[in-house]
Amino acid sequence: MAAWKKLIYSGSDAELNNLDVLKASGSFSGSFQGEVLGTMDSASVAVTAQTASVALRANALAPTVTATSASTAIAAQTASIALRANALAPTVTATSASTSILAQTASVAIRSNTLAPTATASFADSATTASHTAGTASIANIATYTSEWILGANGSSDYTFTGPGFTGSAADPDIYLIRGQQYKFTNNLGAHPFRIQTTVNGSAGTQYNNGVTNNDVSSGTLTFNVPMEAPEVLYYQCTAHAAMGGPIYILDTSPVSSSFATSASIADNISQLATASIANSATSASRAATGDGIFSGSFSGSYQGDGSDLTGIATTLTVDGDSGTSPVSLTDDDLQILGTTNEIVTAITKVGTDVKATISLPDDVTIGNDITITRDALIQRNLTVRGTASFEATADLNIADRFIGLASGSAATGDGGINIQQGANGRGEGFGFENSVSRWGVTSSFDPLGNTITPDAFMTVNVSDGSANDPTAIAARYQKNGNIFIGNTGDIWIYS
């Protein structure tokens, strides 16, 4: 009957009955019954003598340590610290030239009164006569700024502008400024800081500070002396509310509307001006007098209108794709850039004057067809393969994980293992776990498609129990032929 059987080997404990020992050497401990033939050497006396001397030798070697002290000298040095500090402390006498300082200080008010000029409004006085003021561009009579607007607010959605160019108050209007002119924006709203910036409206962006005094004003006046090199478009923006803002167009001259020269009388009046006027830019006075609002020749700057009468401008855009080509009307059609569900996503953004189309992959990608990757692929999260994973490279398969889980998708118990293929039919040398007997084993000509393994031979396991010396107390799963048990005394049993 299969059971645990103890092995007898040199140095192991054994219970032997009626054993005749002809010759034995080495050491022996324990008890026995019988007759000892021969002599038995003992060094117990010497050992006892050596053991007794331990305490005496320890006492003989123990030194006596006497602590020495230099406390007297230390106390003397410590006591002298205060005296040395007092001896070294210098006496500083503050010198003062207060008499001369007081004399100089006292004269400040007198000198300021002496130097203070009496200022008068000299602008009108500087013009000798009314005709002199009209005939000459007197610096004293030129205004320091061209226009001033008073800012209000519609809640947190709009600025309102009151001033030149508006019959009432206008909400977030387009503002037109002329290079070389100076303008004022008075903002006493407190909660709506007013900024001139280069960033398009929608958020507080990069300040434009060339010629700007008191940018981000919330209680006071912002002055803008428009530089000659100012960009064509700037923006005013409330730094606290994204919806409050609008464009500022920088022009070389005043803007011209399409209706400006629609009547002959306006053109005639303009042609009488002595300065270089808009009417002088027309090709002829008769052309302006027709009142049809049509101009020819070159043009630079900005205009108002829908541009329907402009010619020589591209009206279509041809778009080519991997499949198909189509013209896009720039005035009527809507060009759409679309992705495919779970495969491609698109995004259209506008930054300043740049319109950007971004084509990318979504966070979760589903590809309905085969995919071939010709370079390395880095997967930083889980990889789930629902079919058969084939690794066709002849090099090793390196796995950084310390443990490999097999049959992890199964909720039931069963066989499992690995197969090293030895032929074209998929069969090979198998190493696996046979669930019916709860043992690991090996077999040849193993077919992994069968999902079961019947080993030709089983693995022997070494069961060590450091707390007992009874092999019958271990789990029944280890009570298999060939398994070995080693007790806490070093005794060995084999199950058979």
Convert the pLDDT of each residue in 156-173 to its tens digit.
Answer: 999 999 999 999 999 999
User: To which residue do tokens 């010629």 refer?
Assistant: 211
Provide, for the chain, the percentages of residues in helix, strand and coil under a 3-state DSSP scheme, each rounded to the nearest 5.
20, 25, 60
Q: How confident is the model at residue 115, as a pLDDT?
A: 42
Model confidence over 79-118: pLDDT tens digits?
A: 343 444 345 444 434 343 333 333 343 343 344 344 444 4
- Whole-number Å distance between alpha carbons of 130 and 142: 14
**How large is the C-alpha radius of gyration of the chain?**
53
- Contact present, 279 and 261 (Cβ < 8 Å): yes
* 303/323 Cα distance (integer angstroms): 40
pLDDT for 370 equals 87
Instruction: List the structure tokens of 162.
Output: 């009151």
Q: How many helices (H) and strands (E) does the chain have?
A: 7, 22
Burial pattern 113-140, b for ≥16 Cβ within 10 A else e, equals: eeeeeeeeeeeeeebeeeeebeeeeeee
Pair 153, 170: CB distance under 8 Å: no
Give the residue from 396, 455, 449, 445 showing the smallest Cα distance to 421: 445
Q: Which residue has the higher pLDDT, 8 or 28?
A: 8
Q: Could you tell me how far CA 175 lies from the centroid of its own chain? A: 39
- Those residues whose C-beta lies under 8 Å from the C-beta of residue 398, and which sit 6 or more positions away, are none
H/E segment holding residue 103: helix 98-115
pLDDT for residue 23 = 61
Predicted pLDDT at 298: 66
Taking a C-beta distance cutoff of 8 angstroms, is the pair 244, 172 a contact?
A: yes
- pLDDT tier, 406 (very low <50, low <70, confident <90, very high otherwise): confident
| Among 277, 295, 275, 278, residue whose Cα is nearest residue 287 | 295
Please say whether the dihedral angle defined by the alpha carbons of residues 468, 471, 475 and 481, taken in this order, is positive or negative: positive
Q: Give the closest residue to 341 by CA, choosing from 371, 358, 365.
A: 365
Interior/surface letters 431-469, b for 16+ CB within 10 angstroms, e for the rest: bbbbeeeebbbbbeebebeeeebebeebeeeebeeeeeb
pLDDT value for 151:
97
Cβ within 8 Å of residue 12, ≥6 positions away = 490, 491, 492
Q: What is the pLDDT of residue 283?
A: 41
CB 495 within 8 A of CB 6: no
Interval 296-306: pLDDT, tens: 666 666 666 66
pLDDT at residue 334 greater than cutoff 70: yes
Q: How far apart are CA 400 and CA 199, in angstroms?
A: 50
Distance CA 431, CA 440 (A): 7
Q: How many Cα atoms are found within 13 Å in the side-chain-facing hemisphere of 140?
A: 12
Q: Which of 176, 184, 187 is nearest to 151 (CA)?
A: 187
pLDDT reported for residue 40: 55
Strand pairing class (345-351; 212-213)? unpaired
Residue 145 CB: number of other CB atoms within 10 A? 13
122-131, 166-175, 364-373: which has the minimum mean pLDDT? 122-131
Round to whole Å and give the CA distance between 418 and 433. Answer: 9
Using one digit for the tens of pLDDT, what is the confidence trace for 207-228?
A: 999 999 999 999 999 999 999 9
Q: How many CB atoms lie within 10 A of CB 13?
A: 11
pLDDT-derived band at 25 (thresholds 50, 70, 90) equals low
Listed ranges 173-177, 404-408, 413-417; the one with the highest mean pLDDT: 173-177
How would you class 173 by CB atoms within 10 Å of its CB: exposed for 0-12, middle for 13-18, buried for 19 or more? middle
**What pLDDT, on a 0 to 100 scale, did the predictor assign at position 70?**
40
Point out the least confidently predicted range of 280-289, 295-304, 320-329, 373-382.
280-289
